[in-house]
Copies of this chain bind each other. A is one copy, B any other.
Amino acid sequence: MGVVVKLSGSRDPGASLAPLVALVEEDMAHVNRIILDRARSNVDLIPELARHLIDSGGKRLRPMLTIAAAKLCSYGGDGHVRLAASVEFMHTATLLHDDVVDESNLRRGKTTARLLWGNEASVLVGDYLLGQAFKMMVDVGSLGALRILSDAAAIIAEGEVMQLITANNTETTEDDYLAVIDAKTAALFAAAAEVGAVIAGRPKSEAAALRSYGRNLGLAFQLVDDALDYSGEQSALGKSVGDDFRDGKITLPVVLCFRRGNAAERAFWERTLKDGEISESDFAEAVDLMARHNALADTMERARHYGAIARDALAIFPDNEIKSALLEAIEFSVTRPY
């Protein structure tokens, strides 16, 4: 089943991650070797399960941010590679725990680890990867980077708990929702970019600029993700369109629709997302309501707002090909079809 709804307002459909990918390619090959090496263990289940996720072809946006930020700051060492691998491990650990909490069956188009190996293994291998992430950070030896990434670890978990609490609450405000994605998504994007400046020993203003770039890119990225769940093409998205709806997740498109809707429409959202009574035709109805209230287009508009902040954050850096690739990554994030 592929439900396709054109998102209006895409301004630069030609924007791509390709320039960024090309610039960090060599270092990312190194990051990937470290990731495979550090997912090793004498306990076979650990590398098996970790490789399932690692090989599943995510965009690796977060570690790319660390590499690119370090390059933008003319970092000359090799610590950025291990920090990038740490960032990806933190992310992978979060995904493993997330899938358990959400009882997800598909992740990036593949059966989730928890279905293949069980919830228990997913919880514990997530813990293992988090432990490895901290070991790698310690190896790099930058207390500044350690502080930023351990702060992020606590904030991410706090955001996940917040999300658990607000789950199924149709009265969630846009502010509540933003607080959740700021913690559960944007915090790692922010930390990933900031540590690039910190290990390069750059002044606070540059670390803060990269932090702001990462944070706002992360917010934009998550908002688009949420819109795509009601509009994307299943094969390209790598997860089931409508997953958020069926899981009763309150994302910005829902927040907007609920608030803009009439009493009958609110009753629809309460029945489906709060009470979890979902019938075959309800997802199509949800998509119709989104169109009626311009909820997806406005979610994309909000994403572009954060994208604009991310763009301005980078303004203090001189123009060069890395800066330009990082700016195009914003454009890609707010126009991407997957």
Contact = CB atoms under 8 A, between A and B. Distances in A.
Contacts of A138: 143, 146-147, 150
Given A101-B124, A127-B97, A43 B135 contact: no
Q: Which applies to chain A's interface (DSSP): helix, strand, loop or mixed?
A: helix
Contacts of A158: 41, 43, 46, 128
A277 interface: no
B146 A131 contact: no
Given A45-B165, A164-B121, A131 B143 contact: no
Contacts of A135: 147, 150-151, 153-154
Given A143-B143, A161-B43, A161-B45, A153 B124 contact: no
Nearest to A97: B123
Q: How many copies does the complex hold?
A: 2
B131 A156 contact: yes
A146 B140 CA distance: 12
B45 A124 contact: no
Contacts of A41: 158, 161
A11 to B, nearest CB: 37
Interface residues on A, range: 35 or more
Interface in A60-114: 93-94, 97, 100-101
Interface in A202-258: none
Contacts of A132: 154
Contacts of A162: 43
A67 B282 CA distance: 59
15 contacts: A41-B158, A45-B164, A97-B127, A119-B119, A120-B164, A124-B157, A127-B153, A128-B157, A131-B155, A134-B146, A134-B153, A135-B150, A138-B150, A141-B143, A143-B143
